[in-house]
Structure 1
């Protein structure tokens, strides 16, 4: 057995999201020197179960093996039929097991991919359940950089509290790029409300859900953002007026009332 080849495959399996539990079986299979072999793995996401088959093949010219693909059989708790998809291992950034699950759930994942010419490019990837190839694999639609989806800009249209802190904002964007549904805090009429969001590159927006994972209309969340902005502006204006009143002395309250009246009439 090629020891360096084993170490490379061991790490490749680990960082594609299958952990270290397959290490012993991988070594045993490689020592048998069969032309090809498979490993099995089970993963659970809430009440959903994914049964995975990892496929390896030996080179015709050497003793080296290659991790070619893995097939996911996803059984959802609320469905009698399972969903199958094969994900191929490419040079560079592979689709991890968790990202594969998110894709099979219909969500989008952001990846650095490699073209046939060897050039690395960034793209959002999303499964098209209406189109499959001859092997039954669903097509993966790609939304490249030139498509114009700006996740940060899409998030800024909503009253999300986490965007006010750089660390939370970065963590939120990283999670969404992996295809996760992320819990966030929406500000509504000065109150904090728990929502869930996911990236939606096809329509250059985000999808928002309430605390019960019921879809919220994008227009509604944008109106909340506008309302929250107006509330903040009014609070700032009132604060400025109060400060001005303290500085101007006894005559200031009357002036403040005039300004408030003028402001009210202009809204």
Structure 2
């Protein structure tokens, strides 16, 4: 194992924002010198866990490894509470009076595994096969029950995307998690095919057909030509944190990253409300959500209507010409 290569990869994983446990597992996997291996990571999502699978490939000429892509999946299966896990319980074909139990750290993987079963199986969550809650079941490969509280998670398809790393550049773990949750991130290190740098807001295009590799295409909103103005957008609302320069800068960094951020918004009645907010550059707006994720009317937090109306008019005029489809994003 090349120790310099290990250090470089550990630094790269840290820069991309993956959890420290991934860095710890990296060395264990590299010691055996396999041709390829994967590491798992997770981030909390709005409606469930966001799973990440990182791929590492060994060079054909040396013992060096390269981290060149990671797959991200966002579903609506809720995370477990402490001491519980998801499990798939299946009939043992060789021993009819016994059953097989497979435990999962990932809710998305548990659901996917259950849906692929051909026999009699049960998807459950709990401390063990003896202490559990039944979420779904099937007999002879046919679904015959889904817990009413689990139906939305079961029947809502997960969103998956592969993100590629090139020359140490690409989307961070948090940015990727935000993108698969239909949010927009700001990139300052974009490059045209001709090698010219530019800046753009980027989101996944869920309205068009996936590419030949099963990935959603990227849609770009070039900055500043598209016309989205972060300052004007934020200043149209009564947000307490904007009054303090440090907190305002922190908010802008988070919004640029695609985060849904906790803010203190002030309503028309002058009362403060703890809400979540995220920017929507393609419409030049700021969306507000309750702490439980329900959409809220932004008008109740606006200073004036004129600022937003003016900006939206500008967006409409520029949208057709300035919006472009991304190719070869780095």
Q: Structure 2-normalised TM-score?
A: 0.61
Q: Deviations over 1:132-155 (max 9, x none)?
A: 111211112111212121111111
SS across alignment from 1:79? helix
1:219 Cα shift?
4.5
The question of whether the paired residues in 2 share the 8 Å contact of 1:51 and 1:74 is answered with: yes
1:28 Cα shift?
3.5
1:159 Cα shift?
1.7
Structure 1, unaligned runs of 5 or more: 228-267
Between 33-42 and 175-184, the greater mean CA deviation after superposition:
33-42
SS across alignment from 2:9? helix
Matched, 1:57 2:57: yes
Matched, 1:79 2:159: no
1:108 Cα shift?
0.9
Within 5 A, what are the aligned runs for 1:20-59?
A: 20-45=20-45, 48-59=48-59
Q: Which residue of 1 aligns with 2:312?
A: none
Q: Structure 1-normalised TM-score?
A: 0.74
Cα gap change, 1:123/1:189 in structure 2, threshold over 3 Å: closer, same or farther?
A: same
1:195 Cα shift?
3.0
Cα gap change, 1:23/1:220 in structure 2, threshold over 3 Å: closer, same or farther?
A: closer
Cα gap change, 1:111/1:93 in structure 2, threshold over 3 Å: closer, same or farther?
A: farther
C-alpha RMSD of matched pairs (Å): 2.4
Give the whole-Å Cα distance in 2 for the aligned partners of 1:206 and 1:199: 5
Structure 2, unaligned runs of 5 or more: 78-151, 306-330
Computing the radius of gyration from Cα coordinates, the structure with the larger value is: 1
1:212 Cα shift?
5.1
SS across alignment from 2:20? coil
Cα gap change, 1:29/1:196 in structure 2, threshold over 3 Å: closer, same or farther?
A: closer
Count of residues in Structure 1 that have an aligned counterpart in Structure 2: 225
Q: Which residue of 2 aligns with 1:177?
A: 256
SS across alignment from 2:304? helix
Give the whole-Å Cα distance in 1 for the aligned partners of 2:66 and 2:180: 25
Q: Deviations over 1:28-69 (max 9, x none)?
A: 333333332222234444661233221112233443221010
